[in-house]
Each structure stands twice: as structure tokens, then as C-alpha cells.
């Protein structure tokens, strides 16, 4: 997949503009009892914002991730994932995590993220899905920065909303 971005920012009377894009590739590798996925992404490719003829580089980021899903937890799907990410102006960081769906309604999530500017640490969350409506909640343990909470609500429109979360190829 790909996306293009038109960037615009105003500082007092100066208007800066730029163009950027993201590229990504996701490949499925269905194995006997496991649905495996590998993804690569390049983000923030392109020119930075032009201020007074100076165009600093965007924070280009490159990522590689692998996930494996199986039905091993009381017949419900469990996903394990690992991601390595490097920003051009930062160090390499990594994330590991798991998600377990209980029926197609409740998702329990836990993981660890390293290398964050605000602090590495444990992440946890849950999701609730009722037909096309989904609520997601997460928290992060970030040491002296406290415990940030994140919440989101999404609604899927169309035929895909009626499909079950689990791919049909798993037994």
C-alpha cells in the first residue's frame, strides 16, 4: 500500500509546505496451524517543510514486523507479534506483543516497547467488538512519565463489518 501527504504549517506569517508519502507491503504465509504475516514499511519519505529556503529532512522511519496467529487459547485466536523500527534520527527500537480474542467480542492485549523517547515499558489493553462497532483501550507504564491512557472507537461500514475477526484459513 501507499499514501501521499501534503504538509502545511504556519509560523506567524511564514507558510511552509511539503510533500511526503508512506510505502508498505504485507505478505501472508498460511502454514498448517498458524497464519503468519510479514510486513515492511517506510514512512515519511519525501521533502520536509520549506522555511525561508531551508528544508530539514522529515523523520524517515523504516519498520519490519512479523506476526503469527493460532487458535490455542480455549479455541480462540491468539496473535504474537514482533516489530523492529528505526527512525533516521533515532536508535533502533523494538516491540513484542500478544492479542487474544475471547469469542469474537473481547480482545486482551499485552506487550513491551523499547526505545521510546518517553520511556520503554509494558503496554496493556483490551478491545470490545459488537458487530461493526469496536472500542479499544490501552495503557502504558512509562516510569516517571506516569501511565498514559489511550482510547478509541471505530465503526466499520460495509460488508466487511459482518465478517468474523478470525481468518477462515485457521482450523
Place of cell 485466536: 77
pLDDT of residue 122: 87
Of 98, 161, 84, give the one whose Cα is nearest residue 126: 98
User: Rounded CA gap, 50 and 7, in Å?
Assistant: 10
pTM: 0.70
Q: What is the pLDDT along the chain (171 residues), one digit of tens a residue?
A: 999 988 888 888 888 888 899 999 999 988 888 889 999 999 999 877 877 777 778 889 999 999 998 877 677 789 999 999 998 877 888 999 999 988 889 999 999 988 766 667 889 999 999 989 999 999 987 666 678 888 999 998 875 544 444 444 444
Beta bridge partners of 128: 106, 135
Can you say how many angstroms the Cα of residue 76 is from the centroid of all Cα atoms in its chain?
A: 22
pLDDT of residue 163: 44
Strand residue runs (E) in 131-166: 133-140, 149-155
User: Rounded CA gap, 140 and 125, in Å?
Assistant: 9
Amino acid at each position: 500500500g501507499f499514501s501521499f501527504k501534503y504538509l502545511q504549517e504556519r509560523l506567524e506569517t511564514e507558510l511552509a509546505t511539503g510533500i511526503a508519502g508512506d510505502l508498505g507491503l504485507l505478505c501472508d504465509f498460511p502454514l498448517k496451524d498458524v497464519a503468519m504475516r510479514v510486513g515492511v514499511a517506510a514512512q515519511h519519505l519525501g521533502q520536509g517543510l520549506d522555511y525561508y529556503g531551508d528544508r530539514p529532512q522529515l523523520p524517515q522511519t523504516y519498520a519490519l514486523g512479523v506476526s503469527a496467529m493460532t487458535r490455542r487459547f480455549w479455541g480462540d485466536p491468539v496473535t504474537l507479534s514482533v516489530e523492529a523500527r528505526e527512525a533516521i534520527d533515532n536508535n533502533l527500537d523494538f516491540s513484542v506483543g500478544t492479542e487474544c480474542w475471547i469469542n469474537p467480542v473481547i480482545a486482551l492485549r499485552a506487550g513491551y516497547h523499547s526505545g521510546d523517547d518517553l520511556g520503554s515499558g509494558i503496554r496493556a489493553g483490551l478491545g470490545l467488538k459488537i458487530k461493526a462497532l469496536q472500542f479499544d483501550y490501552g495503557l502504558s507504564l512509562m516510569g516517571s512519565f506516569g501511565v498514559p491512557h489511550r482510547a478509541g472507537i471505530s465503526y466499520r461500514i460495509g460488508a466487511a463489518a459482518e465478517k468474523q475477526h478470525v481468518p477462515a484459513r485457521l482450523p
